[in-house]
Amino acid sequence: MFNAQGAPPAVADARTPRVRFTELCAGYPGHPVLHQLDAVIPALAITALVGPNGSGKSTLLGVMAGVIHPTSGRLHHVGDRPPAFVPQHSAVTDALPLTVRQAVEMGRWGDRGPWRRLTRQDRATVDQSMERLGIAHLATRQLGELSGGQRQRALIAQGLAQESDLLLLDEPTTGLDPEARDRIATLLTELVADGRTVVQATHDLEAARSADACLLLREGRLAAQGHPGQLLTASTLARIWQPV
């Protein structure tokens, strides 16, 4: 493991950790993915997870979200609310006949369950989440009819409706046009200013460079951690993406 200068890596950020993992290993039956990760996710910041396909970014998000259980090591959350996990927009099927509002309402299921009627406060939370993402006018549209950028904003609104202080995003800008990418980047900065912590797995180096902290992954191992301005150099990225 290295940092931009080849010295032992520093803590990813000086701020209070929101998530800490120690000697973390995780994967799937017969297929280990993450190996002995030691790092922190700083609170009230945007952290970018960067690395080639298969480096373990999505698996690490799944572990932090609680949908993938570590095989060994420790994961410690600081906070009372469970994380809100937002998958890639391409992973959401068009087969479900969901309107935008119904999709965002699913963010309240963690508190209400899927079969209980939403309260007035739940509905207000859903309304606020859609308004925050600028999609209130799309409330009655089918999710499958939306553009990529609109659908991604609907999924992020669903995450906001969970009222978590930790938002986990898997490739939130992949396949989006520059205007949509800029809009989401601005939103994430605003969410941090409002008191949330954001972690995004991304191949978008521009988005990664605008983050507050960065974890570089390679073959399921933490290759480097620190500030993007120091880590995301041509020489460091070449070492991360070099063939095994």
| Co-location of 78 and 169 in the same domain | yes
User: What are residue 217's phi and psi, to 5 degrees?
Assistant: -115, 145
What percent of the chain has a predicted confidence (pLDDT) above 90? 70
pLDDT band at 93 (very low <50, low <70, confident <90, very high): low
pLDDT band at 88 (very low <50, low <70, confident <90, very high): confident
β-strands 213-218, 84-86 pairing: unpaired
Please give the DSSP secondary-structure letter assigned to residue 49: E
Quote the pLDDT of residue 149: 87
For 141-194, what is each residue's pLDDT tens digit? Answer: 998 888 888 988 999 999 999 999 999 999 998 888 888 888 889 999 999 999
Quote the pLDDT of residue 89: 62
Quote the pLDDT of residue 72: 97
Q: Report the phi/psi class of residue 195: left, alpha or beta, with left for phi > 0 and alpha for psi in -120 to 50.
A: left
End position of a domain, from candidates 129, 145, 163: 163
Residue type, 21: F
**Under 8 Å between Cβ of 168 and 85:** yes
| Co-location of 187 and 218 in the same domain | yes
pLDDT surpasses 90 at 130: yes
The residue-averaged pLDDT of 97-114 equals: 88
Q: Terminal CA-to-CA distance of the chain, rounded, Å?
A: 15
User: What are residue 47's phi and psi, to 5 degrees?
Assistant: -110, 130
> The domain spanning residue 202 has which CATH number?
3.40.50.300
Domain housing 218: 1-83+165-244
| Co-location of 174 and 152 in the same domain | no
What does the alpha-carbon distance between residue 2 and residue 241 come to, in Å, rounded to a whole number? 14
Count of domains in the chain?
A: 2
The residue-averaged pLDDT of 194-210 equals: 95
To the nearest whole number, what is the mean pLDDT of the chain? 88
For 22-41, what is each residue's pLDDT tens digit? Answer: 999 999 999 999 999 999 99
Residue 88 inside a domain? The answer is no
| Co-location of 193 and 145 in the same domain | no
pLDDT surpasses 50 at 5: no
The residue-averaged pLDDT of 198-216 equals: 95
The residue-averaged pLDDT of 224-239 equals: 92
The residue-averaged pLDDT of 221-233 equals: 94
pLDDT surpasses 80 at 243: no
End position of a domain, from candidates 141, 163, 185: 163
Residue 140 inside a domain? The answer is yes
